Amino acid sequence: MLLTTENLGKRYERRGVAVDALRAVDLEIEERAFVAVTGPSGSGKTTLLLTLAGLLKPTAGRIRFRDKQLEGFSDAQWASFRHANLGFVMQNFSLVPYLSARENVTLPLAIAGSKGAAQKKRATELLERVGLGDRASHLPRELSAGQQQRVAIARALANEPALVLADEPTGNLDPALATDVLDLLRSLNEESGTAILMVTHSPEAARAGTHRVHIEDGLVVDASLQPA
């Protein structure tokens, strides 16, 4: 099993009022799975994704990644864990505006301290793989929304992660571009075996996943994780 959660909970304090964003979530995500997490706005989808990445601290429950218990990790341990095992694709693309497409893709490699030539080679390969080999030196503002999301996908794969966390990856794209990005994610999942956990409120996008989880009001209402 790649990732397991037991009774995962997250409670916020907002203006003195306690809000349960996640309530006793139990999940099991297999290696090479493509899981689509669906649910209405405010249902806790993004909170689940942030908690699994260590970007939010759970207030209850356990998280296991392969043979590691993660819930007690320090900030530095979470940083190393994210760097070694996770890739991210965000709705807002999360590209650094003053870095070229290639430099954005090399960011995870730069953090790892790999050498310049190796970084460039890897970034070029990934950009070619997502169909942007000829746009490597372009800044994000010189690329279309779909192209920017492709750069973000290439960056997510730079460190060969076991799991890519995608938060509404098609949220800012028109339907045609959204289909392209979903096709790309699916092919990467199939070809490289990288597991994907994709949060989306779009039923069309959710159909790209091999497995589905539906969340409402912080509760998993469909946790079968059966192949779609």
Partner 1 sequence: MNLAGVAWKELSHRRSSLVSGLVAITLGIAVIVGVRSVTVASEHAVAVKLDSLGANVLVLPQGATVDDYHTADIDAPTFPEEYVERMVTSALLGVENISPKLTRRLKVEGTPLVLTGILPDSEVASKPTWQLEGLEGATVEHVCSGKLGAHADPRLQRKVIDVLGEDECILGYEAAHRLNKREGDTIEVEGVKLTVNTVLSATGTVDDDRLFMHLHAMQEMLGIGAQVSAIEVMGCCEQISEGLLSKLRNVLPDTRVTGIAQIVSTQIETNRLMDKISWGILVIVLLVGGLSIGNYMWGNVTQRRREIGILRMLGARRARIIGLLLAKAIVLGIVGGLLGYALGTLVVTIMGPDTLGLQVRALPGWLGGSVLLAVTVAVLGSLLPAWLASRFDPSANMQEI
Chain centroid offset of residue 177 CA? 18
Among 68, 83, 121, 207, binds partner 1 (CB under 8 A): 83
CB 50 within 8 A of CB 223: no
Binding flags for partner 1, 122-161, as an x/- string (CB under 8 A): ---------------------------------x------
Q: How far is CA 217 from the centre of its chain?
A: 21
List strands edge to edge, sheet with 60-65. Answer: 17-29, 3-14, 60-65, 68-69
Closer of 1 and 79 to partner 1 (Cβ):
79
In the complex, what is the shortest distance from the CB of residue 98 to partner 1, in angstroms, rounded to a whole number? 3
- Provide, rounded to whole angstroms, the least separation between the CB of residue 228 and partner 1: 25
Nearer of residues 55 and 228 to partner 1, judged by Cβ = 55
Q: Whose Cβ is closer to partner 1: residue 75's or residue 191's?
A: 75
| Contacts to partner 1 from residues 171-210, by CB under 8 A | 171
Q: Which of 84, 118, 221, 228 binds partner 1 (CB under 8 A)?
A: 84
Check binding of 80 to partner 1 (CB under 8 A): yes
Is 53 strand, coil or helix? coil
In the bound state with partner 1, the residue whose beta carbon lies nearer, of 91 and 170, is 91
User: Would you say 4 or 94 has its CB closer to partner 1?
Assistant: 94
Contact 104, 140 (CB under 8 A): yes
Q: What's the CA gap between 101 and 109, in Å, rounded?
A: 14
Does 13 bind partner 1 (CB under 8 A)? Our answer is no
**Residues whose CB falls within 8 Å of the CB of residue 88, separated by 6 or more in sequence, listed in order:** 53, 94, 152, 156, 164, 165, 166, 167
CB atoms under 10 Å from CB of 13, counted, come to 8
- Beta-bridge mates of residue 196: 34, 164
Half-sphere exposure of 77 (CA within 13 A, CB side): 8
**Encoding tokens for residue 188?**
């990467």
Give the phi and the psi of residue 162 in degrees, each rounded to 5. Answer: -80, -25
Size of the site for partner 1 (CB under 8 A): 38
Min separation Cβ 84 and partner 1, Å: 7
**Which 8-state DSSP code applies to residue 56?**
S
Site string for partner 1, 90-129 (x = CB under 8 A): xxx-xxxxxx---x--xxx-xxxx--x--x----------
Looking at residues 50 to 69 of the shown chain, list those that interact with partner 1 (rule: CB under 8 A): 50, 53, 55-56
**What residues make contact with partner 1 under the rule CB under 8 A?**
46, 49-50, 53, 55-56, 75-76, 79-84, 86, 88, 90-92, 94-99, 103, 106-108, 110-113, 116, 119, 155, 167, 171
